[in-house]
Structure 1
Amino acid sequence: MRIVKQNRFKNLSELHKEWTEAGVKASRATTHRRVKEFGYSCRIPLVKPLLNHRQRQRHLTWTKEKKNWTVAQWSKVLFSDESKFCISFGNQGPRVWRKGGEAHSPSCLKYSVKFPQSVLIWGAMSSAGVCPLWFLKTNVTVPVYQGILEHFMLPSADQLFEDAGLGLFHFPAGFGTCPHSQKHELNDHGVGVLDWPANSPDLNPIENLWGIVKRKMRNKRPKNADELKATVKETWASIPPQQCHKLITSMPRRIEAVIKAKGAPTKY
């Protein structure tokens, strides 16, 4: 158990080698049986953003400010974000030894660091449903985002919310501060900008929606970029408003989970 706990990412051969080097005479199969008897299973690790101390504190402060928000208030928010879809989703990577209930334990997580990458798709959702997707040819820079906002997001939001009215617009933390010109344009539409902490996908329900879309596409095999775009668009359009509303109703629980974790990554 001590060998496993020291490094959860050792494979069975490495565990067996270290055990035998400690003076235990046992086969590889026996090593495997003992590990399973201790309650460990070899699983694919979850991937979470690596948060520094300052980001964790910002995470915690932000959630404490929003802890009294109701589902009705969150239903007035239009959440947006980018996602990259690939023809092949690739290898799932190394597995990790863990017990039941340890999926979110720090020693069992596979951390990711967010770097700017090529972006193919921009999307948005609210409690009322999804907006049409915007397919991109370049990374989302501020000028590109300005075009999305003016020609795509605001018209889509007007159609999506209709008479209910959009209250707040989620501006992704990766772009820093919302440009003044965009704030002015949003204010002209009666929309405020929702401040957002960096590296906080567990607080953005559209991240879960991207995951739902990718799972629905798991058995699809597009052969080229055009087929991939068509598949993504079709799958995205099939998302019912009820599913979006269910994700929005999870916001109070997400807030509570971050506060409980003191700003660290949560199960969301």
Structure 2
Amino acid sequence: MQDMGFSCRIPCVKPLLNNRQRQNGLKTKRTGLLLRREERHTNPRCLRSSVKFLQSVMVWGAMSSAGVGPLCFLRSKVNTAVYQEVLDHFMLPAADHLYGDADLIFQQDLAPAHSAKATSNWFKDHDIPVLNWPANSPDLNPIENLWGIGKMKMRYARPKNAEELKATIRATWALITPEQCHRLIDSMPRRIAAVIQAKGAPTKY
């Protein structure tokens, strides 16, 4: 992109500094440090600031080619019992909304609560097939890209507490369109081909 005469292909990610932090940084002296004032990778016009939220939340969400399901904000560590509650109260309603009477195959990663025998029995009891999935394969999971889209939309948000953060996440999630979800699901053949070409190594996805 072009900005004020400086060409920046990929912006560096740096912590966002307030005015006081910037002034303190100007006062710091380091012996032997050589600075190039016009280096593109440190010029403020070429930097993208990263923000550390004071609050954090755990959230579960689901998607299909028809769109996203409701979000679930988790209050505790996800064990088998907690995960099955999420499936009962959030995944099943999402499946009814997104699929209706159509058949579905559920995809999840191999977190301990997901791969537990009790969870496997839950899916069998509800007659829901689960896609066999390789461990550590985020490039094959389109929802990882969807979370990335959400984070990008939130990059200028400044929530002051956990409740504001939740509200921001909900509002951002609501902006995700079925078309975006469909494009991500439609990319699966290309993702699989890329993994095969890379012989199982990480890909651009």
TM-score (norm 2): 0.70
How many residues of Structure 1 are paired with residues of Structure 2 in the alignment? 162
- The Cα offsets for residues 109-156 of structure 1, whole Å up to 9 and x where unpaired, read as xxxxxxxxx861011111111010000112222221111112221122
Q: Is 2:190 aligned against 1:228?
A: no
Shift of the 149–176 alpha-carbon distance from structure 1 to 2, 3 Å rule, reads: closer
- Give the equivalent residue in structure 1 for 2:76: 138
Q: Percent identity?
A: 59
Q: Which amino acid aligns with 1:175?
A: P
After TM superposition, the structure 1 = structure 2 runs for residues 11-90 of structure 1, keeping only pairs within 5 Å, are 89-90=51-52
Could you tell me how far 1:232 is from its partner in structure 2? 0.2
| Shift in Å, 1:185 | 3.5
Q: Deviations over 1:48-73 (max 9, x none)?
A: xxxxxxxxxxxxxxxxxxxxxxxxxx
Match of 1:58 in 2: none
Q: Does 1:169 align with 2:110?
A: no
Alignment of 1:59-208 (within 5 A): 89-90=51-52, 120-166=58-104, 168-175=105-112, 178-208=115-145
Gaps of 5+ in 2: 1-31, 43-49
Q: Per the alignment, in what secondary structure is the counterpart of residue 100 of structure 2?
A: helix
Q: Of 180, 184, 204, which aligns to 1:243?
A: 180
Instruction: Assess, with a 3 A threshold, how the Cα gap between structure 1 residues 119 and 240 changes in structure 2: closer, same or farther.
Output: same
SS class of match (2:106)? strand
**Deviation of the 1:252 alpha carbon:** 0.6
| Deviation at residue 190 of structure 1 after TM alignment | 3.5
1:187-214 per-position Cα deviation (integer Å, ceiling 9, x unaligned): 3443201121111110100000000001
> Does the C-alpha gap of structure 1 residues 119 and 200 become closer, same or farther in structure 2, counting only changes over 3 Å?
farther
SS of 2:135's equivalent in the other structure is: coil
> Which one of the candidate residues 128, 141, 147 is aligned to 1:210?
147
The equivalent residue for 2:27 is: none
Asked which structure has the greater RCO (Cα within 8 Å, sep 6+), the reply is 1
CA distance in 2, matches of 1:179, 1:165: 24
> What per-residue deviation string (whole Å, max 9, x for no partner) do you get for residues 16-42 of structure 1?
x9xxxxxxxxx986xx8xxxxxxxx96
